[in-house]
Structure 1
Amino acid sequence: MTSPSAPRRRSLPAVLVSLLLAAAVLFVPATPASAHDELVSTDPAADAVLEAVPQRITLTFSADVLTDPGATVVEVTDASGASLAEGAPEPSGTEVTQALAGSASGVVTVKWRVVSSDGHPIDGSFAFTVPEAAPTPTATPTTSASASPSPTVSASAAPTEAETPVAAPVEESSASSPLPWILLAVALVIVAGVLVYVFASRGRRNAAGGGTTGR
């Protein structure tokens, strides 16, 4: 006769193997995902507003990136799509540096692709903004325009000197005003009045002296 406990003993190892396989299935997919490197920071930062295009862009990752030829790619373009990158990117340890050249205004887009330390390629992108610069060329026309009226100033100086003789007759006409003659007439009237008063006073005194002598 077959023992009823025999099937149960034979099924126990199979259950343990199934549990181990299930646990392996749960933990194995998470292992490669956690091994991938990631972008930690950028200089300039994403969405930054700068006064001008920087001389270089620096990308910092969580681990060393591979330095194999062609493994690192950095594209930097302005709002029109023109490239601002100068030369090839330079990976060193956890950092990747890309030199820039030229000027731009508006949104500058950075696209990057590197191979992480586990051999898996990763990529991404970010952008920063460079506002439009002040219209510097306007200063040059302003200077030339201000220099051009210089002959006009010198030309206006000549008529000013020519008008100077016209001012002299105006002063002479003001000097020939009747005010001095009026003052002279008033002075003569005053002097004549004083003389009349003096002579009248003397006549009265003489008349008074003659009457006293007759008595």
Structure 2
Amino acid sequence: MSLISRFDYGRMVIDRPPAISILDNSLDPGSFSVKRLISSRRLWLSLVVICALAFAHMVSAHSEATRSSPKDKSTLDQAPKVVSVFLTEKIEIELSKLQVFDADGDTVHKGKTTCSENLKTMSILMTDIGSGSYAAKWEVVSVDGHKTSGAFSFQVR
């Protein structure tokens, strides 16, 4: 590193080579610039955050029950022919199921779980049941791959 000496208005001035700032490499515009890189990273980070916020509802789209038929903890005069659960999100019917059990834990439904066209309602046909307490248990996999489950109960007089 050489120093350049010169006289300026009667004083000796020692010029040093210009220091290269780590944040601004403006001496050679074609070379790598950390400042440009930081700006580029900020741009990409901003885009990632905007996309994450825009699609957050898709990420958190777990299918939950909004209601059931019969209603949870209801008492019925007649046994239901069909038990259904209504969900907030579309489900993968092949990976989801609805089952109904009596007080002894025996299944009281027949056939496979069916699903509505909008993929948000699961139903199952019931066998002829008498009076007693019943529990319906559901397990679903929503179209985004998240698993959720729940249960509701009802009684028949």
TM-score (norm 1): 0.48
Alpha carbons of structure 1 residues 24 and 58: separation in structure 2 relative to 1, 3 Å: same
Structure with more contact order per residue of length (Cα contacts < 8 Å, sep ≥ 6) = 2
Report the RMSD for the aligned CA atoms in angstroms: 3.1
Percentage identity across paired residues of the two chains: 24
Alignment partner, residue 124 of structure 1: 150
1:74-97 Cα distance to aligned partner (Å, 9 max, x none):
111111212111111111222211
- C-alpha contact 2:61 2:89 (8 A) present in aligned 1: no
Write the distance in 2 (CA, Å) between the matches of 1:55 and 1:61: 20
Number of aligned pairs? 128
Q: CA deviation at 1:20?
A: 4.9
Write the distance in 2 (CA, Å) between the matches of 1:119 and 1:50: 35
Is the aligned partner of 1:7 residue 2:7?
A: no
Alignment partner, residue 61 of structure 2: 35
* 1:46-195 alignment, distance < 5 Å: 46-68=72-94, 71-93=95-117, 94-131=120-157
2:41 to 17, 27, 48: 17
Q: CA deviation at 1:111?
A: 0.6
Which has more helix, going by share of residues?
Answer: 1
Which has more strand, going by share of residues?
Answer: 2
TM-score (norm 2): 0.63
Alpha carbons of structure 1 residues 8 and 59: separation in structure 2 relative to 1, 3 Å: same
Alpha carbons of structure 1 residues 19 and 106: separation in structure 2 relative to 1, 3 Å: farther
Q: Which segments of 5 or more consecutive residues in structure 2 lack a partner in the other structure?
A: 1-16, 25-32
- C-alpha contact 2:63 2:140 (8 A) present in aligned 1: no
Q: Which segments of 5 or more consecutive residues in structure 1 lack a partner in the other structure?
A: 132-215
